[in-house]
Each structure stands twice: as structure tokens, then as C-alpha cells.
A and B are shown apart, each in its own frame.
Chain A
Amino acid sequence: MSDYNFAYLDEQTKRMIRRAILKGLAIPGYQVPFASREMPMPYGWGTGGVQVSAAVLTPEDRFKVIDQGADDTTNAVSIRRFFEKTAGVAVTEATTEASVIQTRHRIPEAPLREDQILVYQVPIPEPLRFLEPSEVETRKMHSLEEYGLMHVKLYEDISQHGAIATAYAYPVKVEGRYVMDPSPIPKFDNPKLEMAGIQLFGAGREQRIYAVPPYTHVVSLDFDDYPFEPTKADHACDLCGATDSYLDELIMDDAGGRMFMCSDTDYCGTRCAAGHCGAQGTPLAEDAA
């Protein structure tokens, strides 16, 4: 263990954040202001998520961090090491073994259990922000449940593109009350927002925390004649052959060669290890690139 207080933040700060989290859980989808601290990383790198994780971590927890579904990107690795160093918690890359998962822009493919917490990093918590620049006005709209403007955005999508073109950060209504920005997850993940695990959202720069308790009703906004549709690349994973996971597209060479692979690296790796194989994958797990 290091000279840091457990999980970097001091105990009073963690209590303050826990109060915000509890209030958020009590009012699903409501953005609770909190006194966001300076963290040893720039805004936009997950300062909100890190503070929420710090407040919920216990020494017995097993921690996992993903960035766009991957465990091995810079952001994920540095946050994971940060808590390894400051909290001394065990870490893992396996979704099923983790008790706290901090994520940026994805929900893991494997369904979460009741004993798991998913912490989101949120850049802009206000779903109405780009439609109404005034915070005073958006707060009033939330408190009076005036959400017509959100549909104006979807209307504009259909009139310009023939379909709802919003592909990520797709607005949802939580438990029939608050309209919430689910952070920039692909809309493919929206149906997974109704889950058994606890979902906490932290926005460090914007100083907001909000939450979705387990088994909460989460509805993606849409029109009667243009219903919500989760979308993904129409392809199977080239490594593990999965057809039900969200895919990244990779350009392989200058000749236009490309491949699709699961964005959730743990899901893909687990499947490969179990013997599944896609079009460009190597059949044996130990030979996999």
C-alpha cells in the first residue's frame, strides 16, 4: 500500500460523493450537483468516473476499466493502474469477475449481475445542452418535465436523414420521469441500460452525478412511426465470429482492406478461448494475435 489515503480521495470528499450517489439513486436520472475535485488527470479523461469509482471502491473489490470496450487502451490502463497504486485493489479484465467496472462509451456485452457496479465517464451530462444553451432554462425544463425539445432534435434527424441518425448518446427517459444522457454509448447499448447492476454516472468537469438503480425502466425516445432501433455494423466479428456484439471497424491497409471485431475485448477473447472463430481469426487461442 502507498502513502495515499485509500483510493486517493480523502474520506470527507468520498462521503460527499456518496451522498450525491445516494441522492442520484433515489431520483433515477436526476443530475445531482457535487463538488468535483481536481484529479491528477485532465478533464475529459474520466475525472468524474474516477471520483465515483474512488467513492464506491472497498478493499475487497475487484476493479475493471474499459475504454470503448477495450481493457488495453491508454485511458483504461492508466486509470486501472491509478487505483492499483492508490487503493491497492485487485484488478481484472474479465467482466464476470469484476465487482466495479469503470467504463468509457460502452456497456460490456456480458450481462451484469446484482453485485456489480458500472461507473460511466460522462463528458456532457445535460441531454438538452445542444438544444438549449442556458443551464437555468434546462434545469427548469427538467423540473417541469418539458421535454418537447428533445423530440425536435429527433424530428430534425428524420427530416434531414430519413431516419433517426443519432447513433450515440441517444436520449432516454428513466422511470417515466427524467430524460437522461446515457453518456456517449452507442445506441446499440441502450437496451442494456435496464440491467441488474447499479449504474452510476460521473461528470467531473460539469460537476454532476446521476444514477440508474437496478431493474429501472429506461425507454429510448422515439416516434410512433419511427421507433427506436439499436444498430451495429451488419457483420460478424472477424476474430470470434460473434453476431450479437458491437463491432469496431479497422482499416488494415491502404488498399481498403478492413476487418470488423468486437469492441468488447474481454467478450471477444473469452469467445476465442472457448473455441469460437471468425473469418480472419486463428482457431487456437494461444495463436491468436
Chain B
Amino acid sequence: MTPLLQVEGIAKMYGARIGCTDVSFDLYPGEVMGIVGESGSGKSTLLNCMAGHLQPDAGAVRFDTRTEGLRDTVTMSEPERRMLSRTDWAFVHQHARDGLRMNVSAGGNVGERLMAVNARHYGDIRDKAIDWLGRVEISADRIDDRPTAFSGGMQQRLQIARNLVTGPRLVFMDEPTGGLDVSVQARLLDLLRGLVREMGLSAIIVTHDLAVVRLLADRLMVMKDGHVIESGLTDQVLDDPQHAYTQLLVSSVLQV
């Protein structure tokens, strides 16, 4: 089986400081990979390198394209990479404001990716937007409201709808539940888990919330100071942490 994403020896330096270094893994279709670690451990740098937002200093990120099989996205041309990022990839930002157009209506936000791949029928675009708003539990009568009129949880759900409308195969998520209160988090996680299963999505989720990876991720990577210090099946890593830092991380979770 070909992996959907093959990461090999990714390194990114910020001057003399290490952003992340020597990261390699394969992600297979339908698999959800969690990346955890404390602030500054390089997990967002890694995610941005994989999603093409940052140019890594070394290494390769090979993606299984629909037409040509595995291709290195680091060396492919910018138009190709940008095409991938609005068709086969999705990127869910921690702050919905970074991923939404705040002065464009919810329908326009969802429709943008469709129009970017040349949808030119207003009725069809609108029907699809309504369908997706429904899937993320935003009622259809809010379609012409701007995201500024939405709550934080709704904005996050709208961002997810906007990203998934073109049927991507790989979703990058950067702290998708950060800054939301726990009950809203729970519903969002429920929704994400449903969508991932239903659409057979592969996902890479960066978070510092161990509960989120426990719920969503099949596999887990633990990062510290730019290095991957431990990886394995989520339950295995969380229940039987080997590395001292992972043990600290797991034991630091507040028990209610």
C-alpha cells in the first residue's frame, strides 16, 4: 500500500536555533496522526513545513497525487503546490480568524474553494454551501451572516466546512480545539471524528491536549526541542510512555 504522505528527514532551522529536525514518518490513507508536545517543541513548524507554508531546510514531503503518484511537494512548483492546497489538502487553523474571510458571508466562505476550482454556477455553489453548513451543524438561515456574527465554536465549525467542501484527502489541523470551552470542544471533536470516519480522511493533528489525540488519533508522535522523542500507537504511548518527557507529559494531565 502506498502511503498518502511520506515525510523524510524534515529539518527547519531558525538561524542557529532548531525549529524541528530529522522528522520522518509515513501516513497511510484513512489514518489520523497526532503530534503532541509543549509550546516551542516544533510541532507547528513541522506542520507548516508539511503543508507548504514554510520551506524546510532539508528533507522531503512526498504526497500521493491523484495523477502522478508520490511527488515531493517541497520541490514541486508553486502553482502545483497551491493547487494541491486548495483541492487535496485542507488546513484548519487554531484561530478561525486566520482561516476565514471575516468580511465575507458564511456561504461565500464555504463557496470560495469551489469557485477557486472553477465552479461557476451560483445555485450549485449555494446548495453545496447549505449542505456543508448542515453537516457542521450551522443552520441554513445563517448562510448570509458574516463569521463576525458567529460564536467561537461556530467559526471553527465554519472553517472546517470551508476546508472540507472540495473533498480533500489530507487535513492538517493546528490546535483545532484550542481556545474553546470544554462542552464546545467535545461537540467539535465528535463532529471531526464523524467526518474523518465518514469521508475516510487522513489527518495530521497538532495539539497539546492529550485528550484530543486520545479521541482522534490512531498514531502519536511526541516532540520536544524540535526532535521526535517517542512515537507509536496512541493508546500505547499514552498508557505506557517510555521517554521521561512523555511520562512527565502524561502525568501532568489534570484528573477531574
Query: Given the complex, which residues of B lie within 8 Å of A158, measured CB to CB?
Result: 122
Task: Contacts A152-B112, A155-B111 given; indicate if A224 touches B120 (C-beta within 8 A).
Answer: yes
A148 to B116, CA, bound (A): 4
Q: Which residue of A lies closest to B122 (CB)?
A: A223
Query: Given the complex, which residues of B lie within 8 Å of A2, measured CB to CB?
Result: none
Residues of A within 8 A of B (CB): 144, 146, 148-149, 151-152, 155-156, 158-160, 223-226
A-B residue pairs in contact (CB < 8 Å), sample of 5: A152-B101, A156-B105, A159-B126, A224-B122, A225-B121
B20 within 8 A of A: no
Residues of B within 8 A of A (CB): 78-79, 82, 101, 104-105, 107-108, 111-113, 115-118, 120-123, 125-126, 143-144
What DSSP secondary structure best describes chain A's contact surface? Answer: helix
A226 to B104, CA, bound (A): 19
Query: Given the complex, which residues of B lie within 8 Å of A151, measured CB to CB?
Result: 115, 120
Task: Contacts A156-B105, A159-B105, A159-B143 given; indicate if A148 touches B112 (C-beta within 8 A).
Answer: yes
Most buried by A among B78, B117, B122, B126: B122
B122 engages A152 (CB within 8 Å): no
Q: Which residue of A lies closest to B143 (CB)?
A: A159
A144 engages B105 (CB within 8 Å): no
Query: Given the complex, which residues of A lie within 8 Å of B111, measured CB to CB?
Result: 152, 155
B104 engages A156 (CB within 8 Å): yes
Most buried by B among A158, A159, A224: A159
Query: Given the complex, which residues of B lie within 8 Å of A144, measured CB to CB?
Result: 78-79, 82
Query: Given the complex, which residues of B lie within 8 Å of A224, measured CB to CB?
Result: 120-122
A155 engages B107 (CB within 8 Å): yes
A225 to B101, CA, bound (A): 25
Query: Given the complex, which residues of B lie within 8 Å of A149, measured CB to CB?
Result: 112, 115-116
Query: Given the complex, which residues of A lie within 8 Å of B116, measured CB to CB?
Result: 146, 148-149
A223 to B121, CA, bound (A): 5
Q: Which of A146, A148, A160, A225 contacts B123 (CB 8 A)?
A: A225
A160 engages B112 (CB within 8 Å): no
Query: Given the complex, which residues of B lie within 8 Å of A160, measured CB to CB?
Result: 105, 144
B108 engages A155 (CB within 8 Å): yes
B112 engages A226 (CB within 8 Å): no
A226 engages B144 (CB within 8 Å): no
Query: Given the complex, which residues of A lie within 8 Å of B144, measured CB to CB?
Result: 159-160
Q: Which residue of B lies closest to A132 (CB)?
A: B101
Query: Given the complex, which residues of B lie within 8 Å of A146, measured CB to CB?
Result: 82, 116
A140 → B minimal CB distance (Å) = 8
B112 engages A225 (CB within 8 Å): no
Most buried by B among A155, A156, A225: A155
B162 → A minimal CB distance (Å) = 11
Query: Given the complex, which residues of A lie within 8 Å of B78, measured CB to CB?
Result: 144
